[in-house]
C-alpha cells in the first residue's frame, strides 16, 4: 500500500478514500451528498506536483463540488473493479473521464495488477508462444514490456496492438455504460487523436481517432486539449516537488496545461449540467 507523505519540497496531497475503495485519491475528501461532478483519470487528474490540478480549478470555476477520482497508475480495470468508485460516479451529475491509454489493461496476452494497472504481472501462454525466447520475468511495467516487444519484432507486435485496441474499446464501452449521468470524455495529450499505428509510444498509448469516435457515441461531449506552446515552454515552473523528482516532473503536464484543461472543460460542463 502506498501513501503520499509531505516532505521538504513536497505537496501534501491529503490522500483519501471513498467508501470501501482500495484506491487512494487526492484530497481533501469531498462530501458526496447532493450535486457534484466526478473526474476519473490517472496521474494528470491527480495532479502530481501541481498545487491546483484541473479538478480543483473546475470546482472553483463551477462553484460546485468536484470529486477528484484521479489515481496514479489506475485505469478502467481499477475503476470497473472497484464497486465503491463506480458507486461514486453513478451518483455524480456529470463525470469527466480522462481518456486512458490501452497499455494498462488485462487482456488475452497479459495480466496487469488490479489496482496499479501499469504493473505487468504475467504473460499468457499465447503471448509466450508469439514471442518465444523473450523472458517476461524481466518486466515489471507494461510500457517497458510493450516497447521491448515492439523492438524485438514490430510485425508480431501488431497482433498485440490489435488485442489492446479491442480490449480498450470493450472496457471503455462498459465503463461509459456504467455511468448513468452525463459523461464528458477528456483527451489530454501532446497531439490530437490521429490515425491508427502500432508503435507503443506517446500517450494515451495506442488510442487512435477511430477508437475515440466509437467511444464518443456513448458520451455527451468530447473535449480535446493539446498543451499550447506557452504551456510546453513553461516546464516545471510553478510545480512543487523534491529535487530528486525533477525528471518525473518534467514528464508531466505543468501548471498552465492544467489551467488550459480547466478552461476548455468549464463551458462544456456548464452546458451539460
Buried b (16+ CB within 10 A) or exposed e, 247-265: eebeebbbbbbbbbbbebb
CA distance 2 to 24: 8
Cell 491509454 appears where? 101
Q: Please check whether residue 234 is in contact with residue 256, taking contact to mean a CB–CB distance below 8 angstroms.
A: yes
Dump the DSSP string for the chain: -------TT------B--TT--S-B-SSPPP-SSS-EEEEESHHHHTTT-SS-HHHHHHHHHTS-EEEEE-TT--HHHHHT-HHHHHHHHH-SEEEEEPPPSSSS--SSEEE-SSSTTBEEEE-HHHHHHTTT--GGG-SBHHHHHHHHHHH-HHHHHHHHHHHHHHHHHHHHHHHHT--SEEEEEEESSS----------SSSTT--HHHHHHHHTTSSEEEEE---HHHHHHTTTT----GGGHHHHHTS--HHHHHHHHHHHHHHHHHH-
Q: At what angle do helices 209-216 and 154-177 cross, to 10 degrees?
A: 10
As given in the structure block, the three cell numbers for residue 58 are 473546475
Structure confidence at residue 175 (pLDDT): 97
Alpha carbon 230 to its chain's center: 23
Cβ-in-10-Å burial (0-12, 13-18, 19+) of 136 comes to: middle
The one-digit pLDDT tens for each residue of the chain (273 residues) are 333 444 446 899 999 999 999 999 999 999 999 999 999 999 999 999 999 999 999 999 999 999 999 999 999 999 999 999 999 999 999 999 999 999 999 999 999 999 999 999 999 999 999 999 999 999 999 999 999 999 999 999 999 999 999 999 999 999 999 999 999 999 999 999 999 999 999 999 999 999 999 999 999 999 999 999 999 999 999 999 999 999 999 999 999 999 999 999 999 999 999
CB atoms near residue 209 (< 10 Å)? 13
Work out the number of other CB atoms within 10 angstroms of the CB of residue 132: 6
> What is the predicted pLDDT for the residue at 56?
98
Round the CA-based radius of gyration of the chain to a whole number and report it: 18
What is the structure's pLDDT at 1?
35
Task: Note the pLDDT of residue 10.
Answer: 85
| CATH class of this structure's domain 37-103+160-239+249-272 | alpha beta
Q: Which residues pair with 184 in a beta bridge?
A: 96, 221
Amino acid at each position: 500500500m502506498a501513501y503520499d507523505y509531505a516532505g521538504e519540497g513536497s505537496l501534501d496531497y491529503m490522500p483519501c478514500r471513498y467508501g470501501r475503495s482500495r484506491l487512494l485519491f487526492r484530497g481533501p475528501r469531498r462530501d458526496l451528498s447532493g450535486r457534484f461532478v466526478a473526474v476519473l483519470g490517472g496521474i494528470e487528474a491527480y495532479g502530481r506536483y501541481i498545487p491546483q490540478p484541473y479538478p480543483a480549478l473546475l470546482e472553483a470555476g463551477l462553484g460546485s463540488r468536484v470529486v477528484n477520482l484521479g489515481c496514479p497508475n489506475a485505469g478502467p480495470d481499477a475503476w470497473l473493479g472497484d464497486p465503491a468508485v463506480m458507486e461514486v460516479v453513478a451518483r455524480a451529475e456529470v463525470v469527466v473521464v480522462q481518456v486512458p491509454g490501452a497499455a494498462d489493461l488485462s487482456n488475452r496476452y497479459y495480466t496487469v495488477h488490479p489496482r496499479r494497472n501499469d504493473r505487468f504481472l504475467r504473460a499468457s501462454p499465447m503471448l509466450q508462444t508469439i514471442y518465444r525466447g523473450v523472458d517476461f520475468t524481466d518486466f515489471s511495467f507494461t510500457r517497458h514490456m510493450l516497447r521491448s516487444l515492439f523492438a524485438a519484432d514490430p510485425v508480431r507486435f501488431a497482433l498485440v496492438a490489435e488485442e489492446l485496441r479491442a480490449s480498450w474499446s470493450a472496457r471503455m464501452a462498459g465503463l461509459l455504460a456504467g455511468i448513468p449521468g452525463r459523461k464528458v470524455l477528456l483527451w489530454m495529450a501532446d497531439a490530437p487523436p490521429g490515425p491508427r499505428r502500432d508503435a507503443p509510444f506517446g500517450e494515451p498509448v495506442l488510442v487512435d481517432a477511430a477508437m475515440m469516435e466509437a467511444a464518443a457515441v456513448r458520451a455527451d461531449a468530447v473535449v480535446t486539449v493539446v498543451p499550447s506552446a506557452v504551456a510546453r515552454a513553461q516546464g516545471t515552473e510553478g510545480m512543487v516537488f523534491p529535487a530528486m523528482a525533477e525528471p518525473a516532473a518534467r514528464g508531466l503536464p505543468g501548471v498552465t496545461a492544467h489551467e488550459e484543461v480547466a478552461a476548455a472543460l468549464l463551458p462544456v460542463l456548464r452546458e451539460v449540467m
